[in-house]
Each structure stands twice: as C-alpha cells, then as structure tokens.
Amino acid sequence: MNKKTDLKPRLLIVSGPSGVGKGTLLKRVLSESGLPLKMSVSATTRNARPNEKNGIHYHFLTQEQFQEKKNAGEFIECFEVFGRGVWYGTLKADVNAGLDEGNFVVLEIDVKGANEIKKQFPDAITIFVKPPNVEILKERLQGRGTESDEAMKNRLNTAIEELNHAEEFQHCIINDNLDKAVEQFIKIIKENL
C-alpha cells in the first residue's frame, strides 16, 4: 500500500506503435497526474540514440549481457520487438522495486510483451495509444530521423500489425491532440485505481 495515497501498487501497461508519441505523452502524465507513477526501465540491445542515457531511458546491453540475463530468468518478459535480433525486456528487479516503493509502475512495451505481462499480473491496467491515421505515424517516424531506411520499414510494418491488437487493451487513446490525450490518460488511471 502506498503510505501517502492508500492505493494498492499496480502495473500500468502502455502499448502502441513506435512513433505514436507514447514517450511524450507519458512524460506529461508523470509530471501532471499527481499520482505515484514510476516508469520501469527496460533493457534493450539496440544502440542508444544521441539523447538517451544508460539506466534512465533503457539499460543498454550487449547481446551477450542480454542473453545472460534472459537465461538467468531476470526478465518478466522479453521479445525481439522488430525482429532481426533487437531485443527488449522488462526486468523483474526493476518492476518489483517500483511496486515495493508503493508506486504504479508504468511499462511502455510492445503488444507481445503486454500480453505476457497480463498473464502474470491480471490486475494490470492496460492502455493502447493509437495515431489518428497511419500516414501521420509514417511522417512522425520519418521525422525522427534516428533510424535507417531498413529499420524504419521494420518499425512501420510492426506498427501496422500492432494496430490490429488495440481491442485487446482495456482502454484506447487516440493521440491527435497532446493536451487532450494527457487529460484522457489521467482520467482513465484515476477511474481505475
């Protein structure tokens, strides 16, 4: 139980295609909700982008380090999100530490990871963030300019596939206006605590 709020610590799963703006949305939700929310820091084998810091945005691991943790059972779930050997995983230790501190632990993960977590944490709240349309998603992904053409194509194909799974989530938010999306997101959490 969280001492300040008397709320039971829970997991909050947030999924949605790459480029939909989950990161920006979550940053606003975390600073504006007034709730004890804490991001879980996933591990990944992808390279850090210029603005990303190890241990804050991700735990950036080599393939060997990742596989070692996988074999040692340190992940609650882990997947090759865009195929081609790029791994992402949720660390048990990170999530448990967040819950033990009385937080709602926020997992920003893909649809496959979300399904795995739901099996293990049935009382998790699940939210899917959708783009207004696929064209906008394409523009956002291209505008980011952090990916090669090949990686971009993979992301877009995965994104289109992921959109077919939106109904598997309890709540769906269309991110066409950031202020509105933030408001809707906070409302959903507060109504479901």
Spatial neighbors of 20 by CB under 8 A, at least 6 apart, are 129, 130, 131, 137, 140, 159, 175
35 sits near ligand 5GP (criterion: CB under 6 A): no
Select the residue interacting with ligand 5GP from 21, 103, 106, 108 (CB under 6 A). Answer: 108
Burial label, 126 (beta-carbon count in 10 A; 0-12, 13-18, 19+): buried
Task: Give Cα separations from 176 to 81, 102, 132, 173 (angstroms).
Answer: 25, 32, 6, 9
Nearer Cβ to ligand 5GP (115/192): 115
Residue (61 or 189) nearer to ligand 5GP, CB: 61
Closest CA to 46 of 14, 4, 73, 81: 81
81 binds ligand 5GP (CB under 6 A): yes
CB of 14 to ligand 5GP, least distance (A): 8
Number of residues interacting with ligand 5GP: please give it, by CB under 6 A.
14
- Distance between CA 184 and CA 70 in Å, rounded? 36
Q: Is 90 in the site for ligand 5GP (CB under 6 A)?
A: yes
CB of 172 to ligand 5GP, least distance (A): 15
Q: Which residues bind ligand 5GP (CB under 6 A)?
A: 18, 42, 46, 77, 79, 81, 88-90, 108-110, 112-113
